[in-house]
Structure 1
């Protein structure tokens, strides 16, 4: 197993992110993949969340990704490689009680698309991938600053962190524009595009019911990580089975031509299975 170097840094500080890259160069001679994954969040309405906390979520989730992307691009321009940004299914649509987080993930999607185009114009051999996880079994709800009446929770279906790690590793080795980590997230995104008003109503219901733990006072000893890092948990506290694989992610790994052939083949099979009209 290759040795690893651990640094505790605030990604909202550009100088701190530059130091991370410098250590990678000093210790390992450089890097060919860079993953922007740091994140923070809040639970509560837009009015409940103080403006200072709105800004802090943007400092971490948006400016952290911006800092990392710029630092990584400077290093990779001369050698090629991959930049992987962690978005969310909430990059595609919003949900109540997580407004600041949703706004940052929409911004991260725009940033990632812009970076990809600019590097392409330069002729840089750098792939830029946006990964959109669904609900992942991490302590995100426990570490988010909460203004709701009950402790927050993630709505099902829930996926293990290894599903996202699988997507990240694949993106490091294989250029892809976007990868969905979890089928639930993809279905939510497709529904939002096809029926936005219906999707609004569903997200209103999910946001107010499925995002809270009823009759749970929460853990008074646990604190959020909005302004300071926390290491009190690796997994979430939800008593829900987390899926360890995603069929949707595995399908996205297929070569686009193979995937297209599969779709065409499925369409032909459906057409052939229809009963023929034998009436005269």
Structure 2
């Protein structure tokens, strides 16, 4: 039976890679985004992979538009079983250089967009008592970094919102599940179209992973949504661990390295498109696809993702090793 899946921010980056992977296993995929060219490209990807595509031009900051899109999806494709919240926007700049309407817009897309998508999905899933919602998160949901205050604030908000909702669903013994996938730096087109006031081109903080790594994590989470969250990339695990143990030291490290680490050596083109208010891949734009400009440096695998998916097995093995070591130690003590 064909599963009906929805992906927001489906025109590029992680969303585009997720849509392709869902289609490859036969899902009917509703693609929500603003960019016309990117949506058409994503729909073509889905059809070539063997899935059914329903591209919808939607600004996730507009709840009425998101809810109307959900209505259309259910009428044309069927009951929504999976909703992946992924759409975002951002500003690369020190906080003092971000205009308040830009900060608000980032929050409306990157945080409230998730709230809107979640509400649209829940209002349809809860009466049927089934379904899964996957929030595409970030290590920055736990650890703020310089030059991305609006984005970090929004991702922190998504984290808190999702935890609250998860507890409510557990209280209700609901068979609708929500999980979050915390991502590392990913090679997506965002670094060439997010509004930037940096002197040089923006870049993800290495190590960088390909969007297909993120897509594999999202699909695994979609199939195992009872797990509260997944971590992708060793850098995510190290960042979250360091922030839990020594946040002050991490503050100082990021103060020293966070500015240069998020910029290449190339000067930024002052005419670079910015997608905060309108899509960079609209009329006259181009389809950016899933990958950004960092293919040569990006990793196509993540050992941490495998570990996150098999934490039960690893715990059992570790327990067995410890038990064996204890038995050997006890035996030596009795000789």
Query: C-alpha deviations, 1:67-88, integer Å up to 9, x for none?
Result: 0011111111133010111111
Q: Secondary structure of 1:213's partner? A: strand
Q: Secondary structure of 1:108's partner? A: helix
- Report how far residue 189 of structure 1 moved: 0.8
2:276 equivalent in structure 1: 226
CA separation of 1:144/1:268 partners in 2, compared to 1, >3 Å: closer, same or farther?
Answer: farther
Name the stretch that deviates more: 149-158 or 104-113.
149-158
Q: Is the contact made by 1:82 and 1:171 (CA closer than 8 Å) also made in structure 2? A: no
- Report how far residue 112 of structure 1 moved: 0.6
Query: Is 1:77 equivalent to 2:126 in the alignment?
Result: yes
Query: C-alpha deviations, 1:44-102, integer Å up to 9, x for none?
Result: 11111111111010000111000001111111113301011111100011101111110
Query: Is 1:247 equivalent to 2:296 in the alignment?
Result: no
1:197 equivalent in structure 2: 248
Q: Is the contact made by 2:193 and 2:275 (CA closer than 8 Å) also made in structure 1? A: yes
How many residues matched? 275
Name the stretch that deviates more: 143-152 or 131-140.
143-152
Aligned ranges 1:115-130 → 2 under 5 Å: 115-130=165-180
2:317 equivalent in structure 1: 262
Unaligned runs of 5+ in 1: none
1:157 equivalent in structure 2: 207
Name the stretch that deviates more: 7-16 or 265-274.
265-274
Aligned ranges 1:1-280 → 2 under 5 Å: 1-79=50-128, 80-175=130-225, 176-214=227-265, 216-231=266-281, 232=286, 233-234=288-289, 235-238=291-294, 240-254=296-310, 256=312, 258-267=313-322
Q: Secondary structure of 1:40's partner? A: coil
Name the stretch that deviates more: 67-76 or 221-230.
221-230
- Report how far residue 273 of structure 1 moved: 10
Distance in 1 of aligned mates of 2:140 and 2:93 = 16
Higher strand share: 2
Q: Secondary structure of 1:151's partner? A: strand
Distance in 2 of aligned mates of 1:212 and 1:44 = 11
Query: C-alpha deviations, 1:189-233, integer Å up to 9, x for none?
Result: 11111111111122223321111122x123455301111122342
Unaligned runs of 5+ in 2: 1-49
Query: C-alpha deviations, 1:127-162, integer Å up to 9, x for none?
Result: 111111000010122121111221211111110101
CA RMSD of aligned residues (A): 2.2
Q: Provide the TM-score with structure 2 as the length reference.
A: 0.77
CA separation of 1:269/1:95 partners in 2, compared to 1, >3 Å: closer, same or farther?
Answer: farther
